[in-house]
Structure 1
Amino acid sequence: MKLLNYKIWTRAALFSLPLLLSQVAVTQLQSDAGLTPLSAAVAAEDKPKDTRETRRTPALRNKVYEKLAEAQVAAEAKDLAGAQKVLDGMIAAGGKKALNSYELANVYNLYAFIYYSREDYRNALKAYENVVSQPDIPLAMEINTRYTIAQLYFVQEDWKRGVDALLKWFDMTETPNASAYVLLSQGYYQMKDYNKSLFNVEKAISMYDEKGKIPKEQWYNLARFLHFEKGNINKTVDILEILLTHYPKKQYWVQVSHMYGEQKKESEQLSAMETAYVQGMLDKGTEQVTMAYLYLNADVPYKAAKVMDKGLKDSSIDDKSKNWEIAGSAWRQAQEVEKSIPAMEKAAAKSDTGELYARLGNIYLDGDDNKKAITAINKGLSRGGVKRPDNARLILGMAYFNVKQYDKARNAFKAASRDERSAKYASQWIKYMDSELERQRSLAEG
């Protein structure tokens, strides 16, 4: 049997991209960005000066600190309106010129926190942009904020600006982490720049490998997807094998089975799918039918029949004509005619054409049940849609011959002989029948 259905199904399962990291949870963004403004300010003041750049950061005055603390307490208590009122009052008291650049940066930072908590990403982004636009703020504060700005662009699916913001962050930081490379990779993926996307996610994976850490599952999935898009089947298989080592899941057994098929490694293809099956992972009917197809393709029809039989009995495989046909064909190929018949009977009864009745008649003939063979084939021919009616009539003639209905047998053979593909065999059967009738007459006379 052909594996067309199997390939269509597995392709859809294999090449869906995992959830993007750009869809960052609020709590994760806050954690990454260090959104508690006052503690961030104190940490920035206590941190030694960065050797890459000397900045004369203005002091955070006590009265401003107290107001920021008041706004922060309100924000942490989920009183966002109260927190914003304090900040609005700070701006209104003497205008922006009353605050130095560092104080103003902290005000905007807390504004951003409030907007983000309301999921008002557009205004949160504006507030963060205002933070980094202030001169002489601590370098650490600018670096952290620029990373958050990049994330916010990704949340809004503004991939180009997100990538540009992230590249600016990379320029400023001495120790970019693996997650940043993955975020950049996903931005490039969305921009269809698969080469840069692959470079960055593989950089993140190598950083973890060098430290003896296991890279995250979705990093491997992104790399796997990109390698497949580039047509690199061997690398796709390599990554799937790594995923199975660290994250053994059904989807990876199914995917690697398909990819082994692409590599023409039929035994590995079957083994991977069978591993998932024996572990009870293939809980969907389509997956079990795929397993049966692979067994049939490997000339192991008995196992194919057992898979189909079990799935049809427990209703995990759909009760439809095609699936009963697969089961019946598998049993027949396994020389289990008695088990093949009930499966093909159900397949034929659920079919819209007469083809399966014609095939069922052939199976009846193999089992020496000539009367049922005659009934089935006639039903198939009358229903229509039989692919080779000439073959069906040859079998019908044989069944009539076996029950000694010679006139009907002759008519069936003559009808079959009208198709040149069966003319020779029909003629041979008519000659054989004539000689047999002559022999019977001689015996009767003798």
Structure 2
Amino acid sequence: MKLHDSGVWLRAALLALPVAIAQVAVTQVQSELGLRPFAAAVAQEGEQRETRRTPALRNQVYEKLAEAQAAAEAEDLAGAARILEDMLASGGKNELNSYELANVYNLYAFIHYTREDYNAALKAYENVARQPDIPLAMEISTRYTIAQLYFVQERWQDGINSLLDWFKLTENPNEEAYVLLAQGYYQLNDYTKALLNVEKAISLYQEKGKTPKEQWYNLARFLYFEKGDINNTVRVLEELLKHYPDKQYWVQLSHMYGEQKKDSEQLAAMETAYVQDMLDKGTEQVTMAYLYLNAEVPYKAAKVLDRGLKNDSIEDNSRNYEILGNAWRQAQEVDKAIPAMEKAAAKAETGELYARLGNIYLDGDRNEEAITAITRGLQRGGVRRPDSARLVLGMAYFNTGQYDKAREAFKAAGRDERSAKYAEQWIQYMESEIERQRQLAQN
């Protein structure tokens, strides 16, 4: 028995996650933006003056900026904006040096971002970056913020370009920057560059003895899967499970082992999730049952299905009861197979399952019930092999001594060339048995 269509929903699971990853990344961008008000900017004054001759921040300008920042922190954004506008008005802009202007625009950006006016915030930060001779640290942090804002607005290529500019200025870029760049390339479907950057972030974290973030692994896993690199998809999933032992990763790993034709590992991964009660979806439990059936462990398959059907986690439809009945039958548990197949047949739209139920009744030496089931199935229609069903019907009639009806059933089966030989053999056997009984009666 094959895995039915379980691969469809498993593939959907493998594909669905990175959309959520992208959303998480944007949310992180919004929460991690370097939106520093004036105090942080002042703290950078004088940094790296050995490479840049940064103009001084004059005392009267400092006082105005401090006043504007205090208003902003008090949530008086309008008041803070008015102070900044006054500083730029009536020739003030020309009187401010580049470093002072950078701090004004930096505080403007903070106000715009607080108002969720991201376009205005972005323009303000770009004005900060345009100012010559600002401290290098200030330019670096500002350019990173600009890149982040582009990502918030889903302007992926602009974000990538800005981030690449930031990388040129930065001696020791952090892991999050590589992941952000990977996200940008992912959104543009450049999976090769996305992989290079997210793997760089993961390796940098590992070199520091730190555990890479779950969403980083997830992005790498998705990208490898999309590139058809099953071996690396498995490798990333195995790494994920070392640090984040979640149900979805066991299920996905099981599916990937199946792609590698590693049947025992496929079963083991899925079973690990099942024994921990992680498989709460009916489709997952049915897949577990199929894996047991493929491994020729029908008893365990039946137990999984029986439990799921009883606690309503598996849908009580004809198909699932049919699988349960087949599992019990393969496990030589005919008495348990019969009620399962009875339910399957009753819920089915065609007579096929009644024909199969007749076979099980015959195996259990319940001939009258076999006759009833097969007759009902043939009357309902949709039986895949009516010739085979009529052979079984003939056997059941024969076992109950209804030889005329048995002969009629065998002849009907013999009209199909696939069963003609067997039907003729059964008729010959029945005639010899009738003759044997006649002679016994005479003696």
What's the TM-score bracket when you normalise by the shorter of the two chains?
A: over 0.9
- Pair 1:36-2:33 in alignment: no
Q: Secondary structure, in 3 states, of the residue corresponding to 1:4?
A: coil
Say if 2:163 and 2:181, in contact at 8 Å, map to a contact too.
yes
1:95 Cα deviation (Å)?
4.3
Q: Within 5 A, what are the aligned runs for 1:307-346?
A: 307-346=304-343
Q: Partner of 2:156 in structure 1?
A: 159
Say if 1:201 and 1:222, in contact at 8 Å, map to a contact too.
yes
- Pair 1:416-2:413 in alignment: yes
Q: Within 5 A, what are the aligned runs for 1:19-58?
A: 19-20=21-22, 22-25=25-28, 28-30=31-33, 33=34, 35-49=35-49, 54-58=51-55
1:204 Cα deviation (Å)?
0.9
1:86 Cα deviation (Å)?
2.0
Cα distance in 2 for partners of 1:373, 1:94 equals: 101
1:267 Cα deviation (Å)?
0.5
Deviation per CA, 1:325-382: give whole Å up to 9, x if none.
Answer: 1111000000000000111111111111110010001101111111111111111111
Cα distance in 2 for partners of 1:93, 1:77 equals: 27
Cα distance in 2 for partners of 1:41, 1:392 equals: 86
Show structure 1 runs of 5+ residues with no match: none
Deviation per CA, 1:184-219: give whole Å up to 9, x if none.
Answer: 111111111111111111111111111111111111
Task: Report how many aligned residue pairs link the two structures.
Answer: 440
- Pair 1:124-2:121 in alignment: yes
Deviation per CA, 1:122-156: give whole Å up to 9, x if none.
Answer: 11111111111111111111110000000111111
Deviation per CA, 1:281-335: give whole Å up to 9, x if none.
Answer: 1111111001000000000000000000000000000111111111110000000
Cα distance in 1 for partners of 2:75, 2:410 equals: 89
Query: Alignment partner for residue 435 of structure 1, among 417, 427, 432?
Result: 432
Say if 1:26 and 1:117, in contact at 8 Å, map to a contact too.
no
Q: Within 5 A, what are the aligned runs for 1:188-337?
A: 188-337=185-334
Structure 1 stretch displaced more, 92-101 or 176-185? 92-101
Structure 1 stretch displaced more, 267-276 or 230-239? 230-239
1:27 Cα deviation (Å)?
6.0
Q: Secondary structure, in 3 states, of the residue corresponding to 1:19?
A: helix
1:445 Cα deviation (Å)?
2.2
Cα distance in 2 for partners of 1:307, 1:64 equals: 74
TM-align CA RMSD: 1.4
Q: Partner of 2:7 in structure 1?
A: 7
Q: Partner of 1:140 in structure 2?
A: 137
1:26 Cα deviation (Å)?
6.8
Cα distance in 2 for partners of 1:13, 1:247 equals: 17
Structure 1 stretch displaced more, 57-66 or 362-371? 57-66
1:93 Cα deviation (Å)?
4.2
| Counterpart AA for 2:3 | L
Cα distance, 1:160–1:46 mapped onto 2, change above 3 Å:
same
Q: Partner of 2:108 in structure 1?
A: 111
Q: Within 5 A, what are the aligned runs for 1:307-386?
A: 307-386=304-383
1:55 Cα deviation (Å)?
2.1
Say if 1:260 and 1:268, in contact at 8 Å, map to a contact too.
yes
Q: Secondary structure, in 3 states, of the residue corresponding to 2:44?
A: helix
| Counterpart AA for 2:112 | Y
Cα distance in 2 for partners of 1:192, 1:81 equals: 42
Say if 1:233 and 1:263, in contact at 8 Å, map to a contact too.
yes
1:390 Cα deviation (Å)?
0.5
| Counterpart AA for 1:382 | Q
Cα distance in 2 for partners of 1:426, 1:295 equals: 36
Say if 1:24 and 1:151, in contact at 8 Å, map to a contact too.
no
Deviation per CA, 1:64-89: give whole Å up to 9, x if none.
Answer: 21221122112112222222222222
| Counterpart AA for 2:335 | E
Say if 2:15 and 2:222, in contact at 8 Å, map to a contact too.
yes
Say if 2:38 and 2:106, in contact at 8 Å, map to a contact too.
no
Cα distance in 2 for partners of 1:302, 1:93 equals: 87
Say if 2:29 and 2:148, in contact at 8 Å, map to a contact too.
no
Q: Secondary structure, in 3 states, of the residue corresponding to 2:5?
A: helix
1:398 Cα deviation (Å)?
0.6
Q: Partner of 2:172 in structure 1?
A: 175
Cα distance in 1 for partners of 2:15, 2:38 equals: 45
Query: Normalization by structure 1: what TM-score?
Result: 0.96
| Counterpart AA for 1:353 | T
Query: Normalization by structure 2: what TM-score?
Result: 0.96
Query: Alignment partner for residue 69 of structure 2, among 69, 72, 78?
Result: 72
Say if 1:57 and 1:138, in contact at 8 Å, map to a contact too.
yes
Cα distance in 1 for partners of 2:9, 2:205 equals: 33
4+ residue stretches of structure 1 with deviation over 6 A?
none
Cα distance in 2 for partners of 1:81, 1:376 equals: 82
Say if 1:22 and 1:151, in contact at 8 Å, map to a contact too.
no
